[in-house]
Structures are given as structure tokens and as C-alpha cells.
Amino acid sequence: MPIRFIKVKAKNIFTKTKLPRCKWVINQYVGCQFSCRYCYAKFLCKWKNYDKWGSWVEIKINAVEKVKDKYVDGVVFMSSVSDPYQPIEKKLCLTRKILENMNKKVKIGIQSKSSLLLRDVDVFKKFKTIEVGLTINGFDGKLKHEIEPYSPSHKKRLNALKVLKEEKIKNYAFISPVIPGLVDVEKIIMETKGFVDKYWIEILNLKASGYEFVEWLKSNFPESYNTLINKEKMNKFIKNILKFSNKNKIVIEDLILHKL
Ligand code: SF4
């Protein structure tokens, strides 16, 4: 898909957030080439006058100078409306340059679907407090092609988690978006528990995934949709995940279930 890259200047780069366990976010990119159909950041298309989600990326060209010599208290998360290691990052190295220039006492959390982050392991190691996570969901084949067409494969993400562990960087798996019947949480835990420090599990946020995605889910996977909207079924589903996690003694930082 042709991508439009738009250069912009940011007033500030550290933005306050209400996301769990962090105080700030950095979005050096706004918009994402991975173009996941369920992406919660799609709402940005409504008030930015650009085209379809995934077809544009804003690049904050002054992001590096904005982080230089600054210290903020509390965890800084990278990123909330983009993937910090989406394909353009390979060429621009903007995420890398931000990290290189950031005060190394800043507590940082990085999350991506891309193994490109392994390029920056040397910089990660310079931070006193850092956690690096990979979003994992196991989408594969036709299903992946339909809902997460341009993201790196499950295999590459697993390998990235493994390498982070070998490099002694605190890592986590963000299992998301969990869609009953489509994402096998137990299988993912079994595949990763030897090299993942902790887990976040997030059930698909139906509201944030947007009308088009919900309609697609309803018509292609009605059972999954019906489970998501049924309180009793969801309670049972979550109970089973927690039971399995306890049995396997894994650390779950949080299990996020959004309001309908
Ligand atoms: S990788 Fe994340 S930010 Fe990018 S499109 Fe997918 S869900 Fe959205």
C-alpha cells in the first residue's frame, strides 16, 4: 500500500497519559504502517484529515531535540498511537536517536510488534530501568492477512522475546487483542514461558476496534463476538485463563477487560 509520510514539528514530545503503569507517552510517529484492522488508534483518522488508517504516518522531525537533556519522573511509554519500530524506522532510526539522546535515568517502556527493536539492544542496555515488550497474538495465515496484514510474523516476535531475555533485558509479552476462539492464550503461554518475564493480557476492546471491525467479526466469527458481549461467557473465559496461568506459575502484570 502506498504510504504518505508527513513531516511535522511537535510542541512537546512527553505527553501525559492515563495508560496503566505509566505517566508519559512518546509518539514520535503518529499513524502506523502495520495497519491492523482492529487498531484502537484508528479514531485519529476522524480528526486528522488524512486517508485510511495505515496509509499515512506523521513523523515528528524535532523529537530528538525535544528529549535531549530532559528528565521526567514516572514511566515513559513508547508508543500509544503508532508502533515505534514500524518499517519507516529502519530507514530513519528516529526511535533509536530518541533513545540515544534521552536521559538514561528516565524509566522507559517500549512495546512493538516488530523484531526490528533488536537492532537497538545496545541502547536499551544503557537505561537503568527499561522494559521491552512484544505484542503477541499468534494470528497466522488467512486470518493474519485479513486483520493484521503487514505486521511481522508470530515466529519473529517470539524470537525477539527470546533474544531480549538472552541479552538480559527485562521483557514482557503483551497478549493482545485476545479474541475468544481466535487467540489461543494457553498455547502462547506454553510457547513463551521459558523466556518471558511477565505477561499482560488484553481482551479485545470492541468499542475501540471500530464499527467496521466489529461487523467483520460478527459475520465471520459470530461465536467469538457472542462470547465477547456475554458477561457470563467472558467470566468463564477469563477464569480459565487465570486458572491456567496460576497452574503454570507465570506472572500476569494485568488482565485488561474493557467495558462494553
Ligand atoms: S501495530 Fe499497533 S499501532 Fe500499529 S496498526 Fe497495529 S495495533 Fe495499531
Give the whole-angstrom CA distance, residue 146 versus residue 144: 5
Residues in a beta bridge with 135: 174
Ligand 1 pocket, residue 32 CB under 6 Å: yes
Short-list 105, 124, 215, CA closest to 169 = 124
Q: Which residues have a Cβ under 8 Å from the Cβ of 204 and sit 6 or more positions away?
A: 38, 176, 177, 178, 179, 228
pLDDT in tens, 160-176: 999 999 999 999 999 99
What band does 259 get if pLDDT is binned at 50, 70 and 90?
Answer: confident
Q: How far is the CA of 153 from the centre of ligand 1 (A)?
A: 14
Over the chain, what is the mean pLDDT?
A: 96
Give all strands of the β-sheet with 198-203 in edge-to-edge order: 15-16, 24-25, 75-78, 107-112, 130-136, 171-178, 198-203, 252-256
User: Which atom of ligand 1 lies nearest, measured to the CA of 53?
Assistant: 5
Of 19, 29, 32, 112, the residue with max ligand 1 atoms within 8 A of its CB, to mutate for a pocket test, comes to 32
User: Which atom of ligand 1 lies nearest, measured to the CA of 54?
Assistant: 5
Ligand 1 pocket, residue 82 CB under 6 Å: yes
Q: Where are the domains of the chain?
A: 4-256
Q: How far is the CA of 247 from the centre of ligand 1 (A)?
A: 32
Residue nearest to atom 4 of ligand 1 (CA): 32
- The CA distances from residue 55 to 51, 91, 175, in Å, are 6, 18, 25
State residue 27 phi and psi, 5-degree precision: -120, 85
pLDDT of residue 149: 96
Tell me the whole-structure pTM to 2 decimals: 0.97
Q: How far is the CA of 34 from the centre of ligand 1 (A)?
A: 6
In the predicted structure, residue 126 carries a pLDDT above the cut 80 = yes
pLDDT in tens, 29-75: 999 999 999 999 998 877 788 889 999 999 999 999 999 989 999 99
Of 3, 30, 38, 39, the residue with max ligand 1 atoms within 8 A of its CB, to mutate for a pocket test, comes to 39
pLDDT of residue 41: 94
pLDDT in tens, 197-251: 999 999 999 999 999 999 999 999 999 999 999 999 999 999 999 999 999 999 9
Give the whole-angstrom CA distance, residue 140 versus residue 29: 26
pLDDT of residue 108: 98
In the predicted structure, residue 135 carries a pLDDT above the cut 80 = yes
User: Which atom of ligand 1 lies nearest, measured to the CA of 148?
Assistant: 6
**Which CATH code is given to the segment(s) 4-256?**
3.80.30.30
